[in-house]
Amino acid sequence: MRSQPLKGSNLTTVRGINERLVLHLLRMHGALSKAEATRMTGLSANAVSVIFRALEKEGLLLRGNPVRGRIGQPSVPMRLNPDARYYLGYKIGRRTFDLVVVNFVGDVLAQASAVHDYPTPANTLQFLEDNLTPLLTSAEVTLDSISALNIAMPFELWSWTSDFDAPVREMNEWRTFDLEAELKRRVPWPVTLQNDGTAACRAELIFGPPLEEQDFVYLFLGTFIGGGIVLNGGVFPGRRGSSGGFGPMRVPDEPGGERLVDHASLVVLEHMLAARDAQLARQLYNQDADWSRFEPELSQWLARAGRSLAHAIVSALSVIDFETVVIDGALPVAVRSRLVRKVESSLDELDLQGVERPALRPGHFSYLARAMGAASYQISTEYMIDQNTLLRETPTTIFKT
């Protein structure tokens, strides 16, 4: 399944969409000359020149060094200005908090992380209060330069409390707590809230290396398992904003549960380790932990997770013929690579009749994917083209002045 190349329009009434298109292509390709942008967008050379000048004046673009040695005037490549915008991303997880400052091209300028037993509204707000000012100082950015604070967290945090040993009464506080409204009262920036798996998927799409494939499944193994779906080159959040919540998918013939979450989740490995050493089990969520200490349980869990993920992938392919599956998680790079190989070998053993085997690729952002994806929300919605949105809109809505 491949989408048509993105094209612009020379009508002056769609200038906003054309500017997004140019920014989108620059993000995908790194740098473009006027001639390259003209060819890719289908816009006139004059229209591209006007857009380049406007975006440069706004501070969104920087000029590169002229490329000489060709007939005519030297071409000047344009690229995104890393310092054009700064965003805060706050990931609220069942075992960890992560707070990052990200610039316009996805560089993490500063981060703060903490492991906790379980998240409550009180400790969620306390972590932000304790770390916000030091984080901005470390990133060398001011309050005024931040464009937004965006939150990534599991929806319905009060669910599945028994799976990660959290008290029901305290977790039920999330049922009536409006985190977005509370933060809007505390900070001077726009605040948005999104599903953590969808956010991690967005980080991979926007900040990861460009993929030729336009449709892919993104799987993220955290305390539980989640992820996202990319269709037509854009994140498809679904009606409730949580498409790609793969945890409830059924897994056949695997002792220990019928759901994917019962096998391909870090909390499963945590419980396996706790049976041997409770103190060791809690180190699983430290980003600098030595995972060689988790053997032999780690190898056992990787085999179990690989089999379960292979079944889930086949199920997903039976609905949409995704070209690629990206696998990421709160895992060291070496462990993530082992997991991808386990999934590959498990797919070798499954009946793939009726589906086309996808390419498997590792993700790129590991522990920080969800916080980075949260930070990227405005980049996605304000400075990129989402073909899924365009396909849903009517022409009179698209071509507003």
192/114 same-domain check: yes
User: Is 5 within the bounds of a domain?
Assistant: no
245/358 same-domain check: yes
Q: Per residue in 357-376, pLDDT tens?
A: 999 999 999 999 999 999 99
User: Is 205 within the bounds of a domain?
Assistant: no
Using DSSP, how many helices (H) and how many strands (E) does the chain show?
Answer: 15, 13
CB 369 within 8 A of CB 202: no
User: Is 3 within the bounds of a domain?
Assistant: no
**Looking at per-residue confidence, does 108 or 394 come out higher?**
108
**Confidence check: pLDDT of 393 > 50:** no
CA distance 174 to 120: 7
The whole domain housing 165 covers 86-199+372-381
What's the mean pLDDT in 197-204? 97
CA distances from 104 to 4, 189, 333 (A): 27, 16, 25
75/96 same-domain check: no
**Confidence check: pLDDT of 388 > 80:** no
309/356 same-domain check: yes
User: Is 29 within the bounds of a domain?
Assistant: yes
CATH number, domain with residue 141:
3.30.420.40
In single-letter form, the type of residue at position 63 comes to R
Express as a percent the part of the chain with pLDDT over 90.
Answer: 82
**Confidence check: pLDDT of 230 > 80:** yes
64/111 same-domain check: no
94/170 same-domain check: yes
**Phi and psi (nearest 5°) for 182?**
-65, -40
In single-letter form, the type of residue at position 132 comes to L
76/90 same-domain check: no
Q: Per residue in 329-343, pLDDT tens?
A: 999 999 999 999 999
Of the candidates 257, 239, 235, 240, the residue with the CA atom closest to the CA atom of residue 248: 257
- Confidence class for position 30, pLDDT limits 50, 70, 90: very high
**Phi and psi (nearest 5°) for 100?**
-135, 155
- Confidence class for position 73, pLDDT limits 50, 70, 90: low
User: Is 129 within the bounds of a domain?
Assistant: yes
Q: Quote the pLDDT of residue 6.
A: 57
CA distance 228 to 347: 21
220/176 same-domain check: no
Q: Quote the pLDDT of residue 225.
A: 96
Q: Quote the pLDDT of residue 70.
A: 62
- pTM of this prediction? 0.90
Q: Per residue in 128-177, pLDDT tens?
A: 999 999 999 999 999 999 999 999 999 988 888 888 888 999 999 999 99
Q: Quote the pLDDT of residue 72.
A: 54
CB 354 within 8 A of CB 317: no
Q: Quote the pLDDT of residue 400.
A: 31
Q: Quote the pLDDT of residue 162.
A: 82
Concatenating the DSSP letter of every residue in 96-132 gives: EEEEEEEETT--EEEEEEEE-SS--HHHHHHHHHHHH
Concatenating the DSSP letter of every residue in 363-396 gives: -S-GGGHHHHHHHTHHHHHHHS--HHHHHHS-HH
Express as a percent the part of the chain with pLDDT over 70.
Answer: 91
Concatenating the DSSP letter of every residue in 272-337 gives: HHHTT-HHHHHGGG-TT--GGGGTTHHHHHHHHHHHHHHHHHHHHHTTS--SEEEEEESS-HHHHH
User: Is 74 within the bounds of a domain?
Assistant: yes
- Confidence class for position 290, pLDDT limits 50, 70, 90: very high
User: Is 390 within the bounds of a domain?
Assistant: no
User: Is 250 within the bounds of a domain?
Assistant: yes
359/223 same-domain check: yes
Helix %, strand %, coil % of the chain (to 5): 45, 20, 35
Q: Per residue in 90-116, pLDDT tens?
A: 999 999 999 999 999 999 999 999 999
Q: Quote the pLDDT of residue 8.
A: 52
The 10 Å CB-count burial string (b at 16+, else e) for 270-283 is bbbbbeeeeeebbb
**Confidence check: pLDDT of 302 > 70:** yes
CA distance 228 to 220: 8
Q: Quote the pLDDT of residue 7.
A: 53
358/292 same-domain check: yes
CB 387 within 8 A of CB 6: yes
In single-letter form, the type of residue at position 341 comes to R
How many domains would you assign to the chain?
3
170/240 same-domain check: no
> Token pair of 108, please?
């993490």
CATH number, domain with residue 32:
1.10.10.10
CB 66 within 8 A of CB 75: yes
